[in-house]
Homo-oligomer: A and B are copies of this chain.
Amino acid sequence: METMQENALPEAVVVDTSRSPHARLRPVPLTAVSLTDAFWEPRRRTNREVTIPSQYRHCEDTGRLDNFRRAAGTKDIAAFQGIFFNDSDIYKWLEAASWTLAEGGDPALAAMVETAVEAIESAQQSDGYLDTYFMFEKEKDRFTNLKDMHELYCAGHFLQAAVAHYRATGSDRMLDVARRLADHIGNVFGPKEDSKQEQTDGHEEIEMALVELSRATGDEKYRKLAQFFLDVRGKGTIGGSPYHQDHRPFRELHEVIGHAVRMMYLSTGAADLHLETGETALRDALDRQWDNMTTRRMHVSGGLGARYEGEAFGKDFELPNERAYTETCAAIGSVMWNWRMLQTGGDARYADLMEWTLYNAVLPGLSLDGQAYFYQNPLADDGAHWRQAWFGCACCPPNVARLLASLPGYFYSTSDEGVWAHLYAQGTAALTLPDGRVVTVRQETRYPWDGDVALHVAGEGEFGLFVRIPAWCEEGATLEVDGEPYAATLAPGSYTEVRREWRPGSVVRLHLPMPVRRIECHPYVAENRGRVALARGPILFCLEGIDHPEIDLRDLVLPAGPELSAAFRPDLLNGVVTLGGNAQVAAPADPWSGRLYRAARGQAATQAARPVPLTAVPYYAWANREPGRLQVWLRAT
């Protein structure tokens, strides 16, 4: 592995695979991409102006920052406040704030970051240890309960935050703390034959964090430590339960299982290691896990985790709607994992799932006003599930914030062949090819509401523009280059390379038809048999009670025939496309009243259907008006 020059100026690269030997794609600093669209950029502005500052206040109000001051001895507080892993919330917040600072001056935010940095730095112990729960009377318990106590999970989130702070601000203040902490961890943990503690953490995170620290510092020992933590898992050193993915070595784990966030973080860390080492056994395990997840254990939203008990994956085809757990953090973990898989070879299926998950599984976790959060994201509800301003276990809120803050970094990659456009939104990008040539790409589009994307490309010499044809666009996609139809077959779920010497003013026009799609589910998913979900472009839709005040959505039946229409409604939910059409209401007939079971009557079971207008809104926007029933899967005839 090439050693990085210590004095190189860092760039705000979210996952820095630019020197990873087994990455085909190269990352782009988030500062190289400027979004000017009407979908993401307003959300990112809300993230910057509302979400991140309000999270900071929550962290102060709940004692999360004071825990660091207590540990540092700079504030006299009797007891640690909150849950033992609350440090991680500060770290995720710091990561979000750092990526935000990378984009430009914000003195108020910079002051908050400075306060957090100061508190963290002061709380680090002389031996490098950093966890404000295990202080004073609890110091003796350090690293005694790896299974439950999240010490390395918290440490990992700090390492990620420190790397982000370094890359975003150029300051190595947090990075120095991170090195000392990681060195301490490396002194404690390792093979028994080295007289070290041969165990790993009950909650994965340290693996990807150490790989990133290795990338940021150029020091391979951190990557090797990550490898140790991956390899020791599955040997039962923390109890051997599937919940912790400790029942089976990773290379033999051919399903996604146990706690869903843990599983996603584990696969993400393993993918990071694969990018560095190219180990095929790792890759095989990752591929099989991905196949199992996408063909057996993923909700239609891209959400992950079927069970409340254990916040866990269920068995194959166990995908309830109202009781879906689908934690926001698990969806974020899926984005992180898919991003790394994408970097390995440029396989569009990972970008497809990343995009779908962003719109339909991550974004529902955040209210439109940026101040309330879902922990679980059900696909059906009676109106009782509502976003909260904060949680005792507040893992999801800063997780969403750091993803939104770093989002521009996920739009493009480069490679020896050229530039790759993964995501679509109006904006500009200045991308540097591996050979140093600068390419600019300007997207003109109303995506995700419209499938026409004009890519204005400028750059010297010959190179390829890899244009993603989304898997959702099952037919009719076309490409025009400078007004001429582009001849290549446009396979859904692939990248099409437009290779040429680019002229000034070159335009690639991608046309992705967005008919309303009806999606059906594998019949082994018990609740979805005889139902369809609605989608248009990359957006999953749903029905809400507020748009259908006269009926119970459970009685609504979508007839097979007529087309549904799509219309942009600038006034609604910050501007959304809604779907409209005619459905039927078939309420349970009278004889059901007061009965749960009866002799089967078949067709006589429902009253004659009567027509009713249907309005579907994007699923990510549900529960932003008033409490009421939600349905994603609709009964169909």
Contact = CB atoms under 8 A, between A and B. Distances in A.
A606 B520 CA distance: 12
A592 interface: yes
Interface string A605-636: 11000000000000000000000000000011
B597 A520 contact: yes
Interface string A554-583: 100000100000000000000000000000
A526 interface: yes
A352 interface: no
B518 A600 contact: yes
A529 B557 CA distance: 13
Contact of A599 (B322, B474, B595, B597): B474
A382 interface: yes
Contact of A524 (B524, B530, B588): B588
Interface in A300-332: 300, 307-309, 314-315, 318, 320-323
Contacts of A82: none
Given A320-B323, A521-B597, A529 B532 contact: no
A322 B599 CA distance: 23
A520 B596 contact: no
Copies in the complex: 2
Interface stretch (A139-147, A219-227, A290-298, A339-347): A290-298
Contacts of A19: none
A530 B592 CA distance: 15
B519 A599 contact: yes
B523 A606 contact: yes
Interface residues of A, number: 51
A192 interface: no
Contacts of A523: 554, 588, 592, 605-606
A599 B309 CA distance: 32
A521 B599 CA distance: 9
A85 to B, nearest CB: 21
A446 interface: no
Q: What secondary structure prevails in chain A residues at the interface with B?
A: mixed
Contacts of A600: 518-520, 532, 636
A598 interface: yes
Interface in A504-546: 517-527, 529-530, 532-533
Interface string A269-310: 000000000000000000000010011101010000001110
A595 B295 contact: yes
A594 interface: yes
A597 B300 contact: yes
A461 interface: no
Contacts of A138: none
A86 to B, nearest CB: 23
A524 B382 contact: no
A596 B530 contact: no
B527 A295 contact: no
A521 to B, nearest CB: 6
Nearest to A298: B596
Interface string A410-425: 0000000000000000
A522 B595 contact: yes
Contacts of A322: 315, 318, 526
Nearest to A602: B560
Interface in A374-424: 380, 382
Chain B CB within 10 Å — which of A474, A601, A602 has the most? A602
Nearest to A293: B596
Contacts of A295: 594-596
Nearest to A525: B596
A194 to B, nearest CB: 36
A606 to B, nearest CB: 7
Given A294-B596, A474-B599, A527 B524 contact: no
A595 to B, nearest CB: 6
A188 to B, nearest CB: 32
Nearest to A637: B602
Given A523-B588, A530-B530, 7 more contacts: A308-B308, A315-B382, A320-B323, A322-B526, A520-B597, A520-B600, A522-B596
Interface of A: 291, 294-296, 298, 300, 307-309, 314-315, 318, 320-323, 380, 382, 474, 517-527, 529-530, 532-533, 554, 560, 588, 592, 594-602, 605-606, 635-636
27 contacts: A291-B594, A294-B596, A295-B596, A300-B597, A307-B309, A309-B309, A315-B382, A318-B322, A320-B526, A474-B599, A519-B598, A519-B599, A519-B600, A520-B599, A520-B601, A521-B597, A522-B596, A523-B588, A523-B606, A524-B554, A526-B526, A526-B527, A527-B527, A529-B529, A529-B635, A560-B602, A600-B636
- Top 7 A-B residue pairs of the complex, sorted by shortest distance between their CB atoms: A518-B600, A520-B600, A526-B527, A308-B309, A309-B309, A532-B600, A295-B596
